[in-house]
A and B are shown apart, each in its own frame.
Chain A
Amino acid sequence: MSNVLLEVENLSKRYCRDPKRAVGYAMQDIWTDLRGRRPQPSLRDGEFWALRDVSLRVNAGEVVGLIGHNGAGKSTLIKIIAGVLRPTAGEVVMHTNRAVVMDHLGGLNPVQTGRENIANQLALYGISNVDMRQAIDAVISYSELDDFVDTAVGTYSLGMRLRLALAIYSQVKPDIIIVDEALNGGDIRFQSKFRQLLRDHIDAGGAIVMASHELFAIQSMCSRCVLMDEGRVHSEGPTQEVIHTYVRLSSEKDNQLARRTRPKSIVDDGRLPDGVRIDDVEIVASDSCPLYPGSPVTVRVRCNCSEAVDGVLCSLEIGGAGIFPLATMIGGYDGKGYSLHPGVNEFVCEIDSLPLAPGTYQVCVSVVTQDGGITLASRGYADDAVFLEVDNRLDPASNMAAYRQNIVHVAARWKQVPQQRELAELAFLISKGQ
């Protein structure tokens, strides 16, 4: 017997951006359904694909993470799986009828009291009248909301709502739990209790589909991840690899945005004297690997000069995350400065260990005179931005640093100090000669 609990086949869903057209399209779609026909899988004016050809399979005992940027299609996919929305094309095959969706409101009705919500939800999931009273008491006890259970849920805090929803679903004992960002609410105790419930659920042979932006939760819970981007499955596989891809994708998107909205010049090129021009800035890892935090880096600056100039400095500035400069490295200060000769001149800046966290940074290179600090040439922000892209390694710590948009990379070593009792036991064993 197959242990597949959920299958999603070539799922597509279109939405309409224009509210005026949306009403007409809704009536058109209802009419199509009334005639028993399938909607045409094509876009009409003002529509876009919120999901396109998404396929997914979830087995028993598996936790599948859904990650992606806002608007990637995660929530739409969950709503279709939950049966709230109908797909434009494709199908969802659920090999169980016990699936619950946990979102940030838990699907509770704010007008009803906690007790009424419990009764309604339990009834919806098939708890019989005979078992109802006992189940309600169990939910109240689990949620620890005894004093508020006869108050309208609308007056509850977000954490209280989630506690109640969690307590209800702990009684329903579903086969599939679909979590849509629900881990982000509630206090530490609730989150810990929730995660324990999910782990118990997996141990009992259930499955979980978890959409979250909390990569700590995804890393700790999910064995497999699906990265969604612009309504499609971008990549799928082991969690670490997919998170790594996700972080890279985020970086690429930031990079594209930065290129589109190029920052203003920090140096007015119009004032630069003629004769010196920086032709090329090359940034490479000295060990010929991709650029990682802590990598040795070589920056080569090639500039063209029409006449000889003595006493110049070469400056390399790095900025990012709205801060410029983050670091300034100036060459030539330790003597009489460099000399520029007619023709091509090359300067090399070597960085032993790049102290930058994964991300995209901008680089500005200048050639200035030592006396007076007159800028002879500048390259970077003005017309042709130079980007420094620091990749993240395929490990959880690096993924997390990239996801949290750290700027500085600090090489550190960690270890755990044994407790006094453990040290005493160790000393005892040594003294016994074991």
Chain B
Amino acid sequence: MYAVFGLMMAQTLLETFFTQRTIFSTNRILIGRQRSTVEALVLAGLYDGLFGLAIKAAIVVGFMIAYHTAPASTLPLGLLGIGVIFLLGSGLGLCFAPLSAINTDVDKILAFLPWLLFGLTPVFAPAVAGSGMSRIYDANPFTWIFDAVRGLVFGPALGQIAMLSTFLLISIFVLPAALLFCRIARPHVVERLLD
């Protein structure tokens, strides 16, 4: 159950990150030929991500039933945490979208880097407290939100709400800022994507 839920969170973050990071290159035909708002492209990506999240959630629920795992009473906060992961992935993806579209080297690095990052995050198995692996995990900022969401969904939830609030604030700031950045960058990116 630990690995299934960890994978669900990691995939949610990765998918939203990749979807938003590639909005310009994926829609190059559209944006190169007509004026289209970045918001529309972002919303399309968010809906796409929501659909994927719904499927993953159904699988997790299936596993919970199969393994007789009951959620904690803080489940609604846990669901909010998944929403935070979703928004954070989208916002970070948008931050890199312009550079990723106009620089193929950056695009390749960003396609690989997140996988490396998740190799250093407690997705599949917990690290023993105080061990070397645990210290590496702690150095990864995503560890904190993953642990917080896991705690809120399955318990123990103690101390996780503060972490959730912190990441909620970060994601609320990052997504609109990144959207504004992409909106300003759009014509400059389109200029370099024209064929």
Contacts and interface: CB of A to CB of B under 8 A. Distances in A.
Given A23-B103, A26-B189, A30-B184, A82 B29 contact: no
B35 A26 contact: no
Contacts of B30: 107, 109
Contact of A30 (B32, B35, B98): B98
A197 to B, nearest CB: 19
B181 A84 contact: no
B188 interface: yes
A105 interface: yes
Contact of A34 (B35, B184, B194): B184
B187 A84 contact: yes
B60 interface: no
Interface string B1-34: 0000000000000000000000000000111111
B35 A82 contact: yes
A30 B31 contact: no
Interface size class of B (residues with CB under 8 A): 20 to 34
B73 interface: no
A107 B29 CA distance: 7
Given A33-B184, A84-B187, A86-B187, A22 B31 contact: no
A79 B98 CA distance: 19
A29 B34 contact: no
Interface in B23-53: 29-36, 40
Contacts of A83: 35
A124 B36 contact: yes
A27 interface: yes
Interface size band for A: 20 to 34
Interface in B154-195: 181, 184-185, 187-192, 194
Interface in A76-94: 79, 82-86
A107 B102 contact: no
A26 B34 contact: no
A101 B34 contact: yes
A55 to B, nearest CB: 21
A331 interface: no
B111 interface: no
B99 interface: yes
A85 B191 contact: yes
B32 to A, nearest CB: 7
Interface string A309-325: 00000000000000000
Contacts of B33: 84, 101, 103, 105, 107
B35 to A, nearest CB: 3
A110 interface: yes
A84 B184 CA distance: 12
B37 to A, nearest CB: 9
B188 A84 contact: no
B190 A26 contact: no
The secondary-structure label for the interface of chain B is helix
Interface string B52-80: 00000000000000000000000000000
Contacts of A124: 34, 36, 40
Contacts of B187: 84-86
Contact of B188 (A86, A105, A107, A108): A86
Contacts of A29: 188
Nearest to B103: A23
A110 B32 CA distance: 13
A68 to B, nearest CB: 18
A94 to B, nearest CB: 10
B107 to A, nearest CB: 11
A39 to B, nearest CB: 10
B35 A27 contact: no
Interface string A244-274: 0000000000000000000000000000000
A49 interface: no
Interface in A220-252: none
A83 B181 CA distance: 18
Interface string A13-29: 00100000011001101
A109 B184 CA distance: 23
A22 B101 CA distance: 13
B110 to A, nearest CB: 15
B184 A26 contact: no
Contacts of B99: 27
Contacts of A108: 29
Contacts of B40: 124
Interface in A270-316: none
A122 to B, nearest CB: 13
Given A84-B34, A103-B33, A107-B34, 8 more contacts: A26-B191, A30-B98, A30-B184, A30-B185, A30-B188, A33-B185, A86-B188, A107-B30
When A and B form their complex, which 5 residue pairs have the shortest distance between CB atoms, in order from nearest? A83-B35, A86-B187, A107-B33, A107-B34, A33-B184
24 contacts: A15-B191, A22-B102, A22-B192, A23-B102, A26-B191, A26-B192, A27-B99, A30-B181, A30-B184, A33-B184, A33-B185, A82-B34, A83-B35, A85-B187, A85-B190, A86-B188, A101-B33, A101-B34, A107-B30, A107-B33, A108-B29, A109-B30, A110-B29, A124-B36
